Amino acid sequence: MTETMPQPHPMRRTLCALALGLLLGGLAVWKFGMPAPPRESRYTPITFDPGVATTPAISPDGRLVAYASDRDRGHNLGLYVQELRGGDPSRLTWTREDESDPSFSADGTAIAYHSSKDGGGIYLIPSLGGTPRLLAPAGRNPRFSPRGNLVAYWTGLRDGLVEGQAKTFVASIAGGAAREIRPDFSDVQRPVWSPDGQRLIVWGVAPGEGLPADRADFWVTGLERDRAESTGLAGPVSRAGGRLAAIEDMTWTQQGLVFSMRLGWVRNVYRCRMTAGGKAQGDLVRLAGGTASAEYPTVSRDGQMVFASGNERFDVWGLPLDANSGKALGPPYRITNSTAPAEYPTVSPDGRTVLYATPRNGTSQVWMKDLAKGEESVIAPGPNASMPVWVNEGRRVAFVQKLSKRSDEYLLELSTGNALKVFEGGFFWDVNPAATMALARAGDSGQNDILAVDLKTGRSSPILRTAPGAPLTQASFSPDAEWMVFLADTGPATAQIYAARPNGLAEIPRSQWMPLTDGRHKVDKPRFSPDGKLIYFTQDGEGSRGIRALHFDPLTGQTVGDSFAVFDSDQSRLTLFGVNPGSLEIGIAKDKLVMLMAERASNLWTTTLEP
């Protein structure tokens, strides 16, 4: 006999099916009602250069990428174009100058770019190659409008010479006069278009805001002289730990404002949501970066982002030099070799020993390197020790130690290792050869005078008083201490070198300041030669930074003739220009010059932005 299993009642089967359906439906509602987990970004490399691939631009349809690279000769940057999804790059430019900052037209058929040729300017070239055409002499950072044939750009810095303040223009590629944007601003630069092509965001100083760069802002404005309004970026940037002045490479997209910003030693790419009118919304979101730098983001209409990413090293380099004539005797050579960045290098008067600061052990320390033996050692372990200065012909070292918000200066006896605090609330620029007097600055950033500090008594007094908007920095003694040189800002990107005779703690009247440069260049770090008859300094040009020198007459305090070039870095991979001016330093000994240089390597990557 076959035994049969009892069958459930038909009503019971219906109720079970209904309960199961409700359960599964509830699970589905619960699952799909939850916010979707954030999508993990995927990054794909699209160039594989051994040197520098940088400043990319993506065509509006996301098919082509244009960029600058030094792949062919390793020195200057040329312009290349390739398909985003594969294919070999084609070279567009073949000059000996640097070409960079490409920007595609709205239909993708033309590229505007910057060339350093003949002092710098903006050129146009067909996207697939052709003959370049000059569009805007002295123009920088061209940006095609997403609608039509307009190009926005700015002018101002030309071979280190600022012709008035920076100005922004919009020009048509069809010809005609360029239109100036915000002529009422004292400084306006780095324009980027809104997605609809009706507005621009610019970095500028509005009327009544004064000249200091830290009072500038990012403004949104129309093409006509209507009202300019702040974008409100200061809040989100501050909450992210950044500064407005550290923002570069901005692009305004449907997905928001995308830009790079330096935090610490690296740059990262961020996005900030924006209203249609150009107001910042919410906090910054990091899109790319981390331990490697990410910069120059560019975004297509469908949200494809291309950016440059790579590493920078900051090492101390030496230049063989007849320091009293200013003649370089050979190519630069490496002095430090570490992935930990170096800062503030200086060399002993006999040229045998180099000092520098570095965060090699987790905090900033002062290191000393014996050039003959190749030995390195920590002489000021910190925490936060930096800005070393040689004292007593190299027998002692002054250095600054930063604790909390205050900087104190210490004097270190090298023979014993003992350090004594000699100045509170500030730091030294230089110490005279007799080690009796120091040139200093108070630690408070609002105090921009130069002080003299009597190292025997500890007394200090302002001897050079700043004028509004023209802070004084970089004071340095001549070898006989009969003269001092210093720097006064003359604008957001310019400065002037002066000489004056120090007189103890007595103030030096402005009438006794001797101008050595014209104040129209971006100059920095004035330093005397060993015989006191040359003054070395750095000077910024069109995307470059070099070292120059002036003949100086110690009897009259005046210069003799024009300045001349001592060193110009012509390689995109190894440059002075990539160094933060705040960390840069040059040191002069009888047979060499030491400096900080940036060594770069970067390639292009792509990812897709979420809406």
Query: Are 116 and 542 contacting, i.e. CB atoms less than 8 angstroms apart?
Result: yes
* DSSP of 63-122: SEEEEEE-TTTSSS-EEEEEETTS---EE----SS-EEEEEE-TTSSEEEEEE-GGG-EE
Structure tokens at 267: 């740059």
Structure tokens at 578: 């990539």
Q: Is 336 helix (H, G, I), strand (E, B) or coil?
A: coil
Contacts of 562 (CB under 8 A, 6+ apart): none
pLDDT in tens, 196-206: 999 999 998 88
The answer to which of 325-334, 415-424, 536-545 has the lowest mean pLDDT is 536-545
Query: Are 384 and 372 contacting, i.e. CB atoms less than 8 angstroms apart?
Result: no
Indicate whether 333 belongs to any domain: yes
Indicate whether 121 belongs to any domain: yes
What's the Cα-to-Cα distance from 266 to each of 293, 569, 596, 604, rounded to whole Å? 5, 22, 17, 16
156, 184, 215 — which closes off a domain? 156
Domain residues for the domain of 438 are: 312-601
Indicate whether 356 belongs to any domain: yes
C-alpha distance across the termini of the chain, in Å: 70
Structure tokens at 376: 């390195």
What is the pLDDT at residue 446?
53
Q: Which helix (H) or strand (E) holds 13?
A: helix 10-33
* DSSP of 398-438: EEEEEETTEEEEEEEETTT--EEEEESSEEEEEE-TTSSEE
Indicate whether 268 belongs to any domain: no
Distance between CA atoms of 25 and 23, rounded to whole angstroms? 5
Q: What is the CATH number of the domain that holds 452?
A: 2.120.10.30
Main-chain dihedrals φ then ψ at residue 244, nearest 5 degrees: -60, -40
Q: Which of 511, 520, 604, 602 is closest to 563 using CA atoms?
A: 520
Residue 36 has pLDDT above 50, yes or no: no
Residue 160 has pLDDT above 60, yes or no: no
Main-chain dihedrals φ then ψ at residue 29, nearest 5 degrees: -60, -45
pLDDT in tens, 128-152: 999 999 999 999 999 999 988 999 9
Q: Which amino acid is at 35?
A: P
* DSSP of 435-486: SSEEEEEESSTT---EEEEETTT--EEEEEPPBTTB-EEEEEE-TTSS-EEE
Indicate whether 122 belongs to any domain: yes
114, 139, 156 — which closes off a domain? 156
Give 461's strand partners.
452
Q: Which of 500, 416, 410, 413 is closest to 455 using CA atoms?
A: 410
Quickly tell me which residue has 């302002």 as its tokens. 462
Distance between CA atoms of 256 and 288, rounded to whole angstroms? 15
Distance between CA atoms of 96 and 116, rounded to whole angstroms? 9
Distance between CA atoms of 202 and 140, rounded to whole angstroms? 13
133, 156, 179 — which closes off a domain? 156
Distance between CA atoms of 152 and 222, rounded to whole angstroms? 12
pLDDT in tens, 360-390: 877 899 999 999 999 999 999 988 999 999 9
- What is the radius of gyration, based on Cα positions, of the chain? 29
Structure tokens at 533: 């008859």
Distance between CA atoms of 415 and 412, rounded to whole angstroms? 9
Percent of the chain whose predicted confidence (pLDDT) is above 90: 69
Indicate whether 271 belongs to any domain: no
Report the alpha-carbon angle 290-293-294, nearest 5: 95
Contacts of 129 (CB under 8 A, 6+ apart): 81, 90, 92
What is the pLDDT at residue 163?
43
- The pTM for the full model equals 0.79
pLDDT in tens, 470-523: 889 999 999 999 999 999 998 767 899 999 999 999 999 999 999 999 998 899
Query: Are 190 and 250 contacting, i.e. CB atoms less than 8 angstroms apart?
Result: yes
Give 526's strand partners.
none
Quickly tell me which residue has 């690296």 as its tokens. 266
Look over the chain and give the mean of its residue pLDDT values, rounded to a whole number: 88
Query: Are 537 and 548 contacting, i.e. CB atoms less than 8 angstroms apart?
Result: yes
Other C-beta atoms lying within 10 Å of the C-beta of residue 523: 24
The sheet with strand 450-454 has its strands ordered as 426-431, 437-442, 450-454, 460-464
Number of domains composing the chain: 2
What is the pLDDT at residue 226?
80
Plot region of 92 (φ>0 → left; ψ -120 to 50 → alpha; else → beta) = alpha
Contacts of 177 (CB under 8 A, 6+ apart): none
Query: Are 490 and 454 contacting, i.e. CB atoms less than 8 angstroms apart?
Result: no
Dmax over Cα atoms in the chain, in whole Å? 131
Query: Are 578 and 598 contacting, i.e. CB atoms less than 8 angstroms apart?
Result: yes
Distance between CA atoms of 523 and 155, rounded to whole angstroms? 19
Q: Which of 159, 111, 271 is closest to 545 using CA atoms?
A: 159
Indicate whether 212 belongs to any domain: no
Indicate whether 125 belongs to any domain: yes
Which band of pLDDT confidence, cut at 50, 70 and 90, is reported for residue 157?
Answer: low
Give 411's strand partners.
398, 420
Q: Which amino acid is at 462?
A: P
Q: How many residues are listed for the chain in this entry?
A: 611
Residue 61 has pLDDT above 90, yes or no: yes
Other C-beta atoms lying within 10 Å of the C-beta of residue 333: 10
What is the pLDDT at residue 31?
35
Percent of the chain whose predicted confidence (pLDDT) is above 70: 89
Structure tokens at 347: 């060399």
Highest mean pLDDT among 287-291, 317-321, 337-341: 317-321
Query: Are 146 and 166 contacting, i.e. CB atoms less than 8 angstroms apart?
Result: no
What is the pLDDT at residue 460?
94
